[in-house]
Structure 1
Amino acid sequence: MSPTSFSRSITVFHGRTAPESGTLVGYGAVIEALQLAVPLPRDLALISAKRRQYRVAGWRVFTPRHQPADTLWAHLVFALKYEGLDLLFFKKLFAQLPAATVEEWVRHAPQSRYARTVWFLYEWLLACRLDLPDLTQGNYVPVVNEQLQYAAATAPPVSRQRLRNNLPGVAGFCPLVHKTATLEQYLTRDLAGRAQHVLRGLHADVLVRTSAFLLLKDSKASFTIEGEQPPPTRALRWGHAIGQAGQQPLSREELLRLQQLVIENSRFVRLGYRTEGGFVGEHDRQTGDPIPDHVSARWQDLESLMSGLLDAAAHLETAGYPPVLSAAAIAFGFVSVHPFVDGNGRVHRYLIHHLLARLGFTPPGIIFPVSAAILERLPAYRQVLEGYSHPVLELIPWRKTADHNVEVLADTSDYYRYFDATAPAEFLFDCVAYTLEKTIPQEVAYLQRYDALKAWLDEGFQMPDKLVATLIRFLEQNQGILSKRAREKEFALLTPEEVAQIEQQYAVHFPD
């Protein structure tokens, strides 16, 4: 099956301009040579003729001494050594690679960690057994190279290949995250500890009110992201559901319950997993033909895909994998599958709260209003969603249906099982950091200032709580000045001198 050559000289490759002319190697070279139906990796590997090694956006440049031999095996070793694991790549490769070829590689170098890794992946991904005896000697080595990608802390031994399985998922669902400077910086900042510090010592009443505000803020933002303006009661109900995140293990039934809470009126929406195609995008105004930005997973594959996702979520609860990375993998995997006709977006964002709470990242009784942070970053959010869906869209065969939907014409489930979750993880960390370092401290500070002003008003005027709330709201809306209308109506009993005193105190407590 091997072509005459894998390595090839390039200056431009599939629309990417190389930082210099060089030789494409590793995953990119094999994908091109064998025409594998997979997206290109986030970084392509290039051998420089100028004897220098560096990284730029979309590329990793190596020196001539890194040049692999022009064989499939040599390029696979290079990829595993320098580019990390790409499970989708290996699943597609194994589909056209004879089992005898893998057996030959292992027999030739049974102690090679790369041969053992390829052997393990073949059996793990295809759920089959090669005609090879179990290894009886050799050190145990991890499947995931932790210098390149994040791995599970728990790594049970696999005696057959003498490996430690530190993959952060299961065979049915396993996104991977590359180590980046951005993620490393976030992981060293102890964001969860910062949340505990901000909330520590707060009066119980302030903590309860902070929690209620954050829940409602997140609920409203989640609806706004979907272009909806729900009535207050509906936003409150969804906020209450968000507040329960992490209390119950994920299951098929739990996901269906959440969808029912989101939709409420199912008169025009069929609840449960889809039994038809699905896509995100527009329809042609004249013909009604679908114009997809994202094609959802084939409905026939949903039971298998969602079972894998739920198994992976359960695995991550005990795997010692960073909570924000776990939340990114499960939540963005869910929205990529798009298992429901409607409600996918809000359940997707609920899953972020669920994983963060379940893994102990968020303090008990508090949620981080991640949806509010997403709302302020909608272009970046869409870019993350499209960053994977658009390249995959080119690989999914589909046709339009009579009702202007899409019908996927092949098993595409692997595109949703094994994806690069690096960009979603970076984006989610941005949102979590924003809520911890800005939104929550601001709300806590507001409530403390509100309570101080209220105490002053109680002492001097003995106003009912409802009237105090109205007064402060009017002052907020008019930059600290009580409007003429308010002085003549709700607060007509106040003298001009008292109004001036109140405005002065407002400026003291709310200088911003």
Structure 2
Amino acid sequence: MKYSAEGYEAIIQKYNLNVIPNWHRSFIWKESQTHHKQKSNDYIKEIFPAKYKPGKSIGEQLEFAFKYDGINLSILSQIFSVIDTNDLIEYIKSKRTGKYARRIWFLYEFLTGKKLPIDDLKQGNYIDLLEVDQYYTLSKGTSVKRQRVRNNLLGTKAFCPIVRKTETLKNMENEDLAQVCKELIVNYPPEILRKALAYLYTKETKSSFFIEHEEPNNTRTERFVALLQEAQEDDFCQKERLIELQNRIVDKRFADKDYRKNQNYVGETLLHGREKIHYISPKPKELEELMEGLILCHHRMIEGNVNPIIHASVIAYGFVFLHPFEDGNGRIHRFLIHNILAIRGFTPRGIMFPVSAVMLKKSLSYDQSLEAFSSKLIPLIDYTLDEDGIMKVSSDTAHWYRYMDLTQQSEALYSFVKETIENELPNELLFLSAYNKTKEAMKEIIDMPDRMIDLFIRFTLQNHGKLSKKKRYKYFDKLTDQEIEKLQKVLIDQNLHHFHTK
């Protein structure tokens, strides 16, 4: 079969562009009368019959791309940097009231900062820049008179990710997870929810550290718990608060006073001192503008009432990919998920989602959500690494971080939140409710201090429902054998062993 590349693929080949591949690639098969799609892990390959073939001009190829390949700001920024603008101007003038010509015209000026020698449109209806049924957008875009478009992009030129409305995301939206959670917690008394919150803070803290193969001491745990308690009250997505956050999370010796000044990366040392690079962060000189863009994007999504989980995904994953600090980026990334879901009202007051616990359990899925961007980025960057592990990046890289497609990351976060609300959180609440009933029943047998009851439950569960002789005589020598038997029976009746072994 002989296919001809069209849309983005044709332009990329013509100009030999170095790009992160688009999620959709289009080809024409002249001998076919029908078209079909082939799906792989990374992209969709769509084969069109000859009647779909666009003209050869840059404008006609871009129009085809907008129709079938979607809007990819990262690729467009590179296309606009190399094409002959005269060809583009001729195309726009020939179709200046057409919706695709207007979008191409606007995006050229938005991405390049250059104004084309074309008169403003004087009449015609306004159109959305991004189709609202295909992309997550601001609820009310900014009207731009020049092209008569509504700019409903999530961000600005400095930082503007794209999230496509895939069937997966649409289906998850329809489940209304926030309402599911609200209906769940009304079944539990305030006392159980209060205890659950204290427990979940600690569990979330340890899970966030364990993801990075670290075990926090009591001091670091308490610091992170204190931050999670503040996550429901304050907006941390501003420069001063992010720096404060980093300072409170890491060892004082590694606290940053500003965004990093060094080129950092994520890697691992292999045999013979070789380094395997997993991720390369933006250049330090690009960080200030990128981070300003991320923070502005955050505020635009609040004002534009963007879906809270999409909002949290864009900012949290955007943050970790920008990697603005020398240390603590991963924990801040996961903290921002809590912070945004809370301030957007998705998380009910007085409760917290143990999302990191789910990420830890589903570590492969979590790693894949990070690698969906990083694995495509690494082959495109020219860098050197000296014997001291100091990296120098020689290629231009900002556009890759500025215009990320965060669709896969949003799907991943939605799945983690769904698992948290449907399984992780209910199981924790059921356990704590059963634990509370168990303690009350045990106190009816013998009025022991809470600490002793907690020890009895822990030791008994650890030994499969029966207190060991060693623990029995070391900690509970004042109890009779009959009391021990009754206390053990309470644990069985309340089915605590079921929760302990899950």
Task: Tell me whether the two structures share a fold, i.e. TM-score over 0.5.
Answer: yes
Read off the aligned partner of 2:74 and give its amino acid letter. Answer: L
Read off the aligned partner of 2:66 and give its amino acid letter. Answer: L
Q: Is the 8 A contact 2:266 2:277 kept in 1?
A: yes
Which residue number in structure 1 is paired with residue 223 of structure 2?
237
Read off the aligned partner of 2:34 and give its amino acid letter. Answer: R
- Give the CA deviation at 1:300: 0.8
Which residue number in structure 1 is paired with residue 464 of structure 2?
479
User: Aligned runs of 1:80-229 on 2, under 5 Å?
Assistant: 80-229=66-215
Which residue number in structure 2 is paired with residue 323 of structure 1?
308
- Give the CA deviation at 1:488: 2.0
Which residue number in structure 2 is paired with residue 264 of structure 1?
251
Q: Is the 8 A contact 2:247 2:255 kept in 1?
A: no
- Give the CA deviation at 1:69: 2.7
Task: Provide the rounded CA distance (Å) in 2 between the counterparts of 1:404 and 1:487.
Answer: 55
- Give the CA deviation at 1:60: 4.1
Structure 2 unmatched ranges of 5 or more? none
**Deviation readout 1:289-341 (Å, 9 max, x if unpaired):** 65322111001111111111111111111112111111111111111111111
Q: Is the 8 A contact 2:246 2:255 kept in 1?
A: no
Q: Is the 8 A contact 1:331 1:348 kept in 2?
A: yes
- Give the CA deviation at 1:270: 5.1
1:437 and 2:418 aligned: no
Secondary structure of the 2:81 match is helix
**Deviation readout 1:265-303 (Å, 9 max, x if unpaired):** 31x5655311111111124654x5653221110011111
Q: Is the 8 A contact 2:445 2:483 kept in 1?
A: no
Task: Provide the rounded CA distance (Å) in 1 between the counterparts of 2:110 and 2:393.
Answer: 26
Q: Is the 8 A contact 1:271 1:340 kept in 2?
A: no
1:368 and 2:353 aligned: yes
Task: Provide the rounded CA distance (Å) in 1 between the counterparts of 2:164 and 2:463.
Answer: 49
Which residue number in structure 2 is paired with residue 332 of structure 1?
317
In structure 1, which of residues 349, 352, 373 is the aligned counterpart of residue 334 of structure 2? 349
In structure 2, which of residues 13, 17, 21 is the aligned counterpart of residue 36 of structure 1? 17
Q: Is the 8 A contact 1:453 1:506 kept in 2?
A: yes
* CA pair 70-127 structure 1, distance change in 2 beyond 3 A: closer
Task: Provide the rounded CA distance (Å) in 2 between the counterparts of 1:451 and 1:290.
Answer: 51
Task: Provide the rounded CA distance (Å) in 1 between the counterparts of 2:232 and 2:78.
Answer: 35
Secondary structure of the 2:123 match is coil
Which residue number in structure 2 is paired with residue 46 of structure 1?
27
User: Aligned runs of 1:252-331 on 2, under 5 Å?
Assistant: 252-266=239-253, 271-283=257-269, 286=272, 290-331=275-316
Which residue number in structure 2 is paired with residue 6 of structure 1?
none
Q: Is the 8 A contact 1:135 1:161 kept in 2?
A: yes
**Deviation readout 1:35-60 (Å, 9 max, x if unpaired):** 12211112322335261334523224
Read off the aligned partner of 2:250 and give its amino acid letter. Answer: I
* CA pair 30-147 structure 1, distance change in 2 beyond 3 A: farther
Secondary structure of the 2:276 match is strand
Task: Provide the rounded CA distance (Å) in 2 between the counterparts of 1:96 and 1:393.
Answer: 23
Task: Provide the rounded CA distance (Å) in 1 between the counterparts of 2:459 and 2:361.
Answer: 26
- Give the CA deviation at 1:151: 2.0
- Give the CA deviation at 1:360: 1.4
- Give the CA deviation at 1:203: 2.1
- Give the CA deviation at 1:406: 0.8
Which stretch of structure 1 is more off in the superposition, 272-281 or 59-68? 59-68
- Give the CA deviation at 1:215: 1.2
Q: Is the 8 A contact 2:135 2:165 kept in 1?
A: yes
**Deviation readout 1:237-261 (Å, 9 max, x if unpaired):** 1122022125333211111111111
Which residue number in structure 1 is paired with residue 39 of structure 2?
56
Task: Provide the rounded CA distance (Å) in 2 between the counterparts of 1:424 and 1:414.
Answer: 19
Task: Provide the rounded CA distance (Å) in 2 between the counterparts of 1:498 and 1:366.
Answer: 37
Q: Is the 8 A contact 2:243 2:256 kept in 1?
A: no
- Give the CA deviation at 1:405: 1.5
Read off the aligned partner of 2:252 and give its amino acid letter. Answer: N
Read off the aligned partner of 2:36 and give its amino acid letter. Answer: Q
Task: Provide the rounded CA distance (Å) in 2 between the counterparts of 1:374 and 1:39.
Answer: 26
- Give the CA deviation at 1:489: 2.6
**Between the two proteins, what is the percent identity of the paired residues?**
34
Task: Provide the rounded CA distance (Å) in 1 between the counterparts of 2:241 and 2:495.
Answer: 43
Task: Provide the rounded CA distance (Å) in 2 between the counterparts of 1:510 and 1:232.
Answer: 31
Q: Is the 8 A contact 1:214 1:367 kept in 2?
A: yes
- Give the CA deviation at 1:202: 2.7
C-alpha RMSD of matched pairs (Å)? 1.9
In structure 1, which of residues 428, 433, 446 is the aligned counterpart of residue 431 of structure 2? 446
- Give the CA deviation at 1:366: 2.3
Task: Provide the rounded CA distance (Å) in 2 between the counterparts of 1:270 and 1:503.
Answer: 52
Which stretch of structure 1 is more off in the superposition, 150-159 or 449-458? 150-159
Which stretch of structure 1 is more off in the superposition, 423-432 or 90-99? 90-99
Secondary structure of the 2:439 match is helix
**Deviation readout 1:10-31 (Å, 9 max, x if unpaired):** 6xxxxxxxxxxx4332222221
* CA pair 246-501 structure 1, distance change in 2 beyond 3 A: closer
1:495 and 2:480 aligned: yes
Read off the aligned partner of 1:273 and give its amino acid letter. Answer: Y
* CA pair 35-215 structure 1, distance change in 2 beyond 3 A: same
Task: Provide the rounded CA distance (Å) in 2 between the counterparts of 1:251 and 1:443.
Answer: 33
Read off the aligned partner of 1:42 and give its amino acid letter. Answer: W
Structure 1 unmatched ranges of 5 or more? 1-8, 11-21
Which stretch of structure 1 is more off in the superposition, 187-196 or 171-180? 171-180
**Deviation readout 1:380-414 (Å, 9 max, x if unpaired):** 22222122122222222222246321111233111
Read off the aligned partner of 1:355 and give its amino acid letter. Answer: I
User: Aligned runs of 1:14-25 on 2, under 5 Å?
Assistant: 22-25=3-6
Task: Provide the rounded CA distance (Å) in 2 between the counterparts of 1:82 and 1:418.
Answer: 19
Q: How many residues align?
A: 491
Read off the aligned partner of 1:27 and give its amino acid letter. Answer: Y
Which residue number in structure 1 is paired with residue 65 of structure 2?
79
**Deviation readout 1:124-148 (Å, 9 max, x if unpaired):** 1122322222211111111112333
Task: Provide the rounded CA distance (Å) in 2 between the counterparts of 1:169 and 1:93.
Answer: 20
Read off the aligned partner of 1:208 and give its amino acid letter. Answer: R
